[in-house]
């Protein structure tokens, strides 16, 4: 399965670039950058295939939360909930030089994408500027869209490998309900400025029972694409407390969403649509713990994924390659949890007690 997974992931990466190149048909600067990026992705894929033949599986994606700080306080924020679950009191965050080493190693290994998250990544602008120095890597930035100051937009224009993914919950009512009054208006303004400046950007949508119909509506998505959106990432909502579990999908609502997603991809071929964990079904299970990606928290801990904030290895004391073979990651990959059949949603979040047990046993 590992060889099949490696090939499938590599083809998926190239497919993303091909779709983006098509969407940038009439923008020479965007198209030129994307063609270079596609060549870099092909070279990275070759590195991963070579490593696979030598017995080392390299994921094409990493997720890096570069700061725990945020200027908003959104309802159901998993970053804040995870920080409360696994506190890092007294710990130092990774320094810029630490991130420089991590990015360089990722590039050498054959990683194609490093998704930058937080908190709010634009509150740690030094790391974003550093990421711009690694043009062979693509850095999607999950941002709330409120900090697109002139200097930040100039940085993104200079470094095309920085691709903002702006969080939105639907229209004004849903977005402001979760993120705060006036946030939707700021997001719309940010999209307008980015589009006018020829910046490639996308949106990230946390999809729930409440907003599913709205965010998969043809008119809503058409307006996003008309505003310049080139990628839409749907992230299925995961409950962080008993107060909001009614927002989570059940089997029927998840099936309806995936059905709509198939139609959306046909209706809007010029944009990229990704769904997590929905798209993992076609990849033989959860991609966490190094199968397709893993998560680096702001303090250097490597975790299976952002929804499973448990770690037994820290990058302050070692390398990415060593992290791939951490006791927890190896135990998870061998346990069958990642590839087990399940009803949907995040596998590891739903089986937290088993993850904790593996963590304790590994130590």
Tell me how far apart the alpha carbons of residues 296 and 302 are, in angstroms, rounded to a whole number.
5
pLDDT band at 217 (very low <50, low <70, confident <90, very high): very high
Cis status of the peptide bond prior to 277, with omega within 30 of 0 = yes
Which has the minimum average pLDDT: 196-205, 274-283, 327-336?
274-283
Confidence at residue 28, expressed as pLDDT on a 0 to 100 scale: 77
- Total domain count for the chain? 1
In a domain, 267, yes or no: yes
Segment (H or E) for 221 = helix 218-226
At residue 3, does pLDDT exceed 60? no
At residue 306, does pLDDT exceed 80? yes
Which has the minimum average pLDDT: 1-10, 129-138, 229-238?
1-10
In a domain, 347, yes or no: yes
In a domain, 291, yes or no: yes
Tell me how far apart the alpha carbons of residues 125 and 269 are, in angstroms, rounded to a whole number.
33
What number is the average pLDDT over the span 4-18? Answer: 71
Structure tokens at 247: 């927002």
In a domain, 226, yes or no: yes
CATH number at residue 258: 3.20.20.70
Answer yes or no: are the C-beta atoms of 120 and 73 closer than 8 Å: no
At residue 342, does pLDDT exceed 70? no
Which has the minimum average pLDDT: 77-86, 154-163, 234-243, 314-323?
77-86
Strand partners, 308: 305
Confidence at residue 234, expressed as pLDDT on a 0 to 100 scale: 94
In a domain, 3, yes or no: no
In a domain, 7, yes or no: no
Across 5-14, 29-38, 75-84, 129-138, the highest mean pLDDT is recorded for: 129-138
Answer yes or no: are the C-beta atoms of 65 and 119 closer than 8 Å: yes
How many helices, marked H, and strands, marked E, lie in the chain?
A: 15, 9
What number is the average pLDDT over the span 40-60? Answer: 93
**pTM for this structure?**
0.92
Residue-wise pLDDT for 225-235, tens only, equals 999 999 999 99
What number is the average pLDDT over the span 216-228? Answer: 95
Task: Tell me the average pLDDT of the chain.
Answer: 89
CA nearest 261: which of 251, 273, 249, 250? 273
At residue 283, does pLDDT exceed 80? no
At residue 1, does pLDDT exceed 50? no
Residue of 341 and 98 predicted with greater confidence: 98
In a domain, 48, yes or no: no
In a domain, 345, yes or no: yes
pLDDT band at 2 (very low <50, low <70, confident <90, very high): very low
Confidence at residue 114, expressed as pLDDT on a 0 to 100 scale: 96
Answer yes or no: are the C-beta atoms of 285 and 339 closer than 8 Å: yes
Give the range of the structural domain holding residue 101, as residue numbers without chain letter: 57-362
pLDDT band at 362 (very low <50, low <70, confident <90, very high): confident
At residue 85, does pLDDT exceed 70? no
Segment (H or E) for 148 = none
Confidence at residue 226, expressed as pLDDT on a 0 to 100 scale: 93
At residue 205, does pLDDT exceed 60? yes
Confidence at residue 363, expressed as pLDDT on a 0 to 100 scale: 57
Residue-wise pLDDT for 250-273, tens only, equals 888 988 998 999 999 999 988 889
């Amino acid at each position: 399965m590992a060889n099949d997974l490696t090939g499938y992931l590599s083809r998926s990466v190239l497919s993303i670039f091909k779709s983006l190149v098509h969407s940038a048909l009439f923008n020479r600067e965007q198209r030129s950058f994307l063609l270079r990026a596609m060549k870099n992705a092909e070279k990275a894929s070759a590195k991963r295939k070579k490593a696979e033949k030598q017995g080392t599986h390299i994921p094409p994606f990493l997720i890096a939360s570069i700061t725990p700080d945020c200027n908003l306080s959104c309802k159901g924020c998993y970053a804040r909930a995870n920080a409360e679950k696994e506190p890092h009191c007294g710990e130092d965050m990774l320094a810029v030089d630490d991130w420089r080493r991590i990015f360089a190693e990722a590039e050498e290994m054959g990683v194609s994408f490093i998704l930058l998250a937080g908190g709010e990544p634009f509150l740690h602008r030094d790391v974003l500027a550093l990421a711009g120095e690694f043009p062979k890597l693509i850095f999607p930035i999950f941002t709330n869209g409120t900090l697109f100051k002139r200097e930040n937009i100039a940085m993104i224009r200079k470094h095309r490998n920085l691709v903002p993914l702006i969080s939105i919950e639907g229209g004004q009512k849903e977005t402001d309900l979760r993120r705060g009054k006036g946030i939707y208006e700021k997001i719309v303004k940010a999209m307008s400025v980015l589009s006018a400046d020829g910046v490639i950007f996308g949106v990230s949508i946390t999809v729930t029972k409440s907003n599913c119909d709205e965010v998969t509506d043809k008119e809503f998505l058409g307006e996003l694409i008309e505003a310049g959106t080139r990628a839409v990432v749907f992230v299925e909502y995961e409950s962080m407390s008993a107060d909001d579990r009614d927002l989570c999908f059940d089997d029927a609502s998840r099936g309806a969403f995936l059905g709509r997603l198939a139609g959306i991809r046909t209706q809007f071929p010029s944009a990229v649509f990704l769904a997590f964990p929905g798209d993992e079904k076609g990849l033989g299970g959860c991609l966490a713990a190094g199968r397709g990606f893993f998560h680096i928290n702001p303090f250097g801990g490597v975790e299976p994924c952002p929804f499973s904030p448990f770690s037994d290895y820290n990058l302050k004391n070692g390398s990415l390659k060593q992290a791939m073979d951490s006791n927890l990651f190896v135990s998870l990959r061998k346990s069958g949890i990642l590839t087990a059949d399940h009803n949907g949603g995040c596998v590891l979040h739903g089986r937290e007690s088993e993850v904790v047990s593996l963590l304790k046993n590994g130590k």
